[in-house]
């Protein structure tokens, strides 16, 4: 592999040109031969990852065709200083997360608040809360509302439970591409 100092005219060249690959590594321009991948068969995991990237590219094109989504992604790209298409790919490839379920004010009565912290690399579009009995039966469910001042998603309960009834709180967060993350927290 040869290290080269490119003429300023060619300073921005990157990628494949003929049988050579031009790239930058740690601030230096590097030229190498195109790798020979003859006879190399992709593994099942590699094929699955290639499919994920293909779907991410399809999503990115569709998201940028929608004016509302495009505006969200352009704002994020501007804040991060990266290309807007990269933001769409990243958003598709990274699912949201339910970071915290705060049950400190929930005692099983109606009109109490369950607070949720959820995150995503671009935007959490929605949070839903399901309260289940020990056997898995749904006792109540609904959408949480984002409280901008606290930065949390708040769900106000509608059902009063019998005193001491053990339940599990299931919280799901959804991002712009539609991926969902779920976290379950028991309450006795």
- Share in percent of the chain as helix, strand, coil (round to 5): 25, 40, 35
Any domain includes 39? no
pLDDT of res. 5: 63
8 Å CB contact between 114 and 147: no
Number of domains present in the structure of the chain: 3
The predicted structure's pLDDT at residue 29: 80
Whether 67 and 111 map to the same domain: the answer is: no
Q: Interhelix angle for 84-93 vs 67-80, to 10°?
A: 100
Q: At 87, which helix (H) or strand (E)?
A: helix 84-93
Question: Same domain, yes or no, for 78 and 106?
Answer: no
Domain that holds residue 14: 2-33
Looking at the structure, tell me whether residues 77 and 103 fall in a common domain: no
Report the pLDDT value the prediction gives residue 104, as an integer from 0 to 100. Answer: 94
Shared domain check, 107 and 87 = no
Same domain? For 118 and 159 the reply is yes
Residues 101 and 154 both lie in one domain? yes
Same domain assignment for residues 51 and 74:
yes
**Mean pLDDT, 10 residues at a time, over the chain (188 residues)?**
59 78 80 88 96 97 97 96 96 97 94 97 96 94 95 96 92 97 93
The residue among 159, 104, 96 whose CA lies nearest residue 126 is: 96
Contact 2, 31 (CB under 8 A): yes
101 and 180 share one domain? yes
How far apart CA 17 and CA 105 sit, in angstroms, is: 63
Q: Does residue 11 lie in a domain region?
A: yes
The answer to whether 116 touches 152, Cβ cutoff 8 Å, is: yes
Predicted confidence at residue 168, as pLDDT, reads 96
Q: Are residues 19 and 60 in the same domain?
A: no
């Amino acid at each position: 592999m040869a290290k080269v100092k490119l003429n300023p005219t060619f300073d921005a060249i990157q990628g494949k040109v003929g049988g050579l690959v031009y790239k930058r590594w740690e601030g230096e321009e590097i030229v190498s031969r195109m790798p020979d991948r003859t006879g190399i068969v992709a593994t099942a995991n590699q094929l699955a990852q290639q499919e994920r990237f293909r779907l991410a590219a399809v999503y990115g094109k569709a998201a940028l065709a929608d004016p509302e989504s495009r505006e969200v992604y352009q704002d994020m790209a501007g804040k991060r200083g990266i290309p807007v298409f990269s933001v769409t790919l990243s958003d598709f490839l990274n699912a949201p997360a339910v970071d915290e379920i705060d049950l400190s004010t929930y005692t099983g009565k109606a009109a109490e608040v369950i607070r949720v912290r959820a995150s995503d690399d671009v935007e959490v579009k929605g949070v839903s809360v399901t309260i289940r009995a020990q056997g898995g039966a749904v006792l109540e469910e609904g959408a949480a509302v984002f409280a901008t001042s606290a930065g949390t998603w708040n769900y106000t309960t509608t059902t009063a439970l019998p005193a001491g009834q053990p339940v599990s709180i299931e919280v799901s967060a959804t991002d712009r591409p539609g991926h969902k993350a779920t976290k379950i927290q028991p309450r006795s």
